[in-house]
Chains A and B, each alone.
Chain A
Amino acid sequence: MSTQEWKGALVVGVSGLGGAAALTLASGGVRRIVLVDPAPAEARDLSGHPLLAEEDIGQPRAAAAARRLADRFAGIDVTAPPAAFDERTGPALVASANVVVDASNLFAAMFAVNDVAAEVGRPVVHAGILQYSAQLLTTVFGETGCLRCLFEGPPPPRAGAAPEAEGLALLAGFAGALVGMEALRMLEGGRAAYAGRLLVYEARARRSRSVTVKARPGCPACAAWARAHPAAGGPTA
C-alpha cells in the first residue's frame, strides 16, 4: 500500500476548483477523501465543474461529487457529511485528514479553515480565484505564516462576497489541479511548492508572482497552534 492510500485529505468547498482538486487527489492514489460543501448545485455551477452534471442540480454539491468520484475510482472511501464547515464541525473533519485543501468560495470559510487547522495542527493548501487571477498558499503551522498572518481577517462583507463567483472556470480547474498536486506532494512527504509563499497567477498576462508569508507576531491562529502544540516549537506568534 502506498503512502497516499492510507493517508486522507479533506477538501472544503466543492465548486469547480474543489472538484478538480478532489479528482487530482484521487488520481494520485489518495483513497480516503472527505468533501464538505452542502450547498445545492446550481445550473451555473455546471459551467466548469468536472464532477457535476445536469441531474445533480438541486443536490448538495459535495454529495453529488462524492458519488461520481466513487464511480470513477474503485476502492475509494469518499464521504460527504451534510453539515457545512464551521468552528463546531471543523475540528473533527480536520482531525480526520492528513492535509486540508481549502477550496471554499467565501472568505469567512477560508479563515475558519485556517483557524481550525491551526488548533488541530494540520497543513492547509488554500486556493482562490478572482476573475483571471488564481492565488495559492500553503500553510505549515510552526514553519510558515498562515492566511491570518497575511490578511489578518476577512475583508469587509461587500468586497468579500464570493472570490470564485466571477472567476474564469478553466482557471479554477487549473488552480484545482495545482492544489491537488500540492496536497499529493505533502502526503508523500515532499517539499510543498507554496509553503510560506502566496503564488498569484494572472492568466491574461500569464504572469506569476510570489509573496513571502512569514509568521506574524500577534497572529491569533499561529498563537493558537503554539498553545496547542507546545512541544513542537517553530516560529512563535
Chain B
Amino acid sequence: MRRVGAGAPGGRGADGVTLTDPEKARFARAIQLPGLGAEGVEALRAARVHVVGAGVTAGPAILFLAQTGVGTLFLDDGGDVSNADAGAWLYTQRDLGQQRLFAAMEAVRAASGLVEVRPFASDTIVSATLVCSDDETVARRAAEQARRAGVPHVVGLANGEGGEVVDVPSGAPCFRCAHAPGARVFPRRGAAAAVGTLAALELVLLLARVVPGGGGGRRIDLVEGTPTARPTERIPGCDCYNVY
C-alpha cells in the first residue's frame, strides 16, 4: 500500500478532476455547501479509498462513500455473507454464503455508476484508509499498516450500543495511542451503522479538507446516542511520529 499525492496541473480542479455535467447534477447539494463546494467534491472524486471490512460497520460506510462521490473504493474483506450481515445494508438474501468482497462490490456498482470499485491489493496506491472491520485484531493491524505506509486513516469500531471513531491524519497520534482495548460485545440496535457512517463522515471531512487547519487527531466516542470528541494524545514512548 502506498499513498497517492494530491494536486494536478493545468486548468482542472486542484485534484486533477473536472466535474462532468452528470456529476454536477448528482452532487449539486454538496457543491452548494459552504466549506465543501466544487473543490471539495473534486477532491472526493479524485480520492482512492481503501476500506477494510464489509460487515455491519463497514457496509453503511461503503454505501455512503460510494454515493457521496468518492472516486475509487478498494474493498478489503475475507469473510462470507451470513445472517449476521443483515445490518450491513449491502446484501440481499441471494448473497448468503457468497464472498462479502464480491457481493459488496456488486452492491456498490448497483448503487452508483459514478464510483469505481475494486478489490484491494497490497501494491494499491491509495489516498486514505477507512478501517471498519468488525474484528478488533484486524482493525488494529490495518491501522498500523496504514500508519507505516504513511496513509491518513480513520478507524471505526462498534461496541454494544455505541463505539469509537479515531481520526489519524498526518502527524497525529496513532490508533494504538488513542484506542482503549477492552472487552467488546457485538454491536446492537444499529450501533454499527451509526459508527460506520460517523467514521465515513470523518473520512469525507478529511479528504475534502473541510475542517479549517486540518483538525488534528481525535477520538469520538458514541455513548447513549451522543458523540463526544476529544483530541488524541501520543502515549509516552510510542514512536508514531507520522508526517505525510
Which residue of B33, B34, B91 is within 8 Å of A72 (Cβ)?
A: B91
Interface contact B194-A177, CB-CB below 8 Å:
yes
State whether the Cβ of A49 lies closer than 8 Å to any Cβ in chain B.
Answer: yes
Question: How many pairs of residues, A versus B, come closer than 8 Å at their CB atoms?
Answer: 153
How many B residues are at the interface, by size bracket?
A: 35 or more
Interface contact A177-B67, CB-CB below 8 Å:
no
Interface contact B69-A47, CB-CB below 8 Å:
yes
Interface centre among B26, B67, B92, B112 (most CB of A within 10 A): B67
Instruction: Knowing A173-B200, A174-B201, say if A46 contacts B225 (CB, 8 Å).
Output: no
Instruction: Knowing A23-B60, A193-B225, say if A47 contacts B27 (CB, 8 Å).
Output: yes
Interface centre among A188, A204, A210 (most CB of B within 10 A): A204
Interface bits B191-205 vs A (CB < 8 Å: 1, else 0): 101101110110011
**A174 neighbours in B (Cβ, 8 Å):** 194, 197-198, 201
Interface contact A199-B225, CB-CB below 8 Å:
yes
State whether the Cβ of A144 lies closer than 8 Å to any Cβ in chain B.
Answer: no
**A220 neighbours in B (Cβ, 8 Å):** none
Interface bits A30-61 vs B (CB < 8 Å: 1, else 0): 00000000000001101111100110000000
State whether the Cβ of A170 lies closer than 8 Å to any Cβ in chain B.
Answer: yes
Binding site for B on A (CB under 8 A): 16, 20, 23-28, 43-44, 46-50, 53-54, 71-74, 131-132, 136, 165-171, 173-174, 176-178, 180-182, 184-185, 188, 193-194, 199, 201, 203-204, 206-208, 210
Binding site for A on B (CB under 8 A): 22, 25-30, 32-36, 56, 60, 63-65, 67-69, 86-87, 89, 91-93, 110-113, 161, 188-191, 193-194, 196-198, 200-201, 204-205, 210-212, 215, 218, 220, 224-229
